[in-house]
Amino acid sequence: MHEHVRELQRVLEPFTTLDLVPIKWLHLTVVGVGHTDEVDPEQLRRIIDSVRKVASSDSFTLSFDRVVVWNDAVAVVAHPSAALDRLRAGLATVVGEVLRDAAPPSNPNSAFHPHVTVAYANSPQDAAPVRTALDEIAQTAYEIPSPTLSLIELHRDNRVYEWRTIAELHV
């Protein structure tokens, strides 16, 4: 995946309206837990213990086969969405059970579009030239068997999401 993203980013580099995501910060967001000052260490331990059970019950391989250009980003789309939907629902349930009223609001009817962002828009731009540039490179499909699920402490202070890993497990 990293090599494919590097190829995409080489094509996107001339677009000054795009901030490329450094390879080490590539991610697929599944569910939020809350602000670090609102989740105590015991709640965090309970979430991690419960997530281990949820994530280990449904292993799958992530596939990426399409690049999309949105108003605010360029991303590669992840499949199988059904497996990711089940994982997301299980994780949101765990967070809700542990944090109760302090859990981030979730809408089970909201659309989930699993993706890995390769560039964020930093100002408005016509998407057509970006799509044209991306059409000139081969669309490569690739898979990630047993992806890693990480609980992270996230911030976006430097125009890119960065984090510190709290816990990891393979799904």
pLDDT digits (tens, 9 = 90+) for 64-74: 989 999 999 99
The pLDDT, as a whole number, for residue 5 is 93
pLDDT band at 19 (very low <50, low <70, confident <90, very high): very high
Domains and CATH numbers, the chain: 2-145 (3.90.1140.10)
SS3 content of the chain, % helix, strand, coil (to 5): 35, 25, 35
Query: Long-range contacts: 139-143, Cβ < 8 Å, 24+?
Result: 139/65, 139/66, 139/67, 140/4, 140/7, 141/63, 141/64, 141/65, 142/1, 142/4, 142/63, 142/64, 142/65, 143/61, 143/62, 143/63, 143/64
The pLDDT, as a whole number, for residue 157 is 77
Evaluate if residue 97 carries a pLDDT over 80: yes
The pLDDT, as a whole number, for residue 62 is 87
pLDDT band at 156 (very low <50, low <70, confident <90, very high): confident
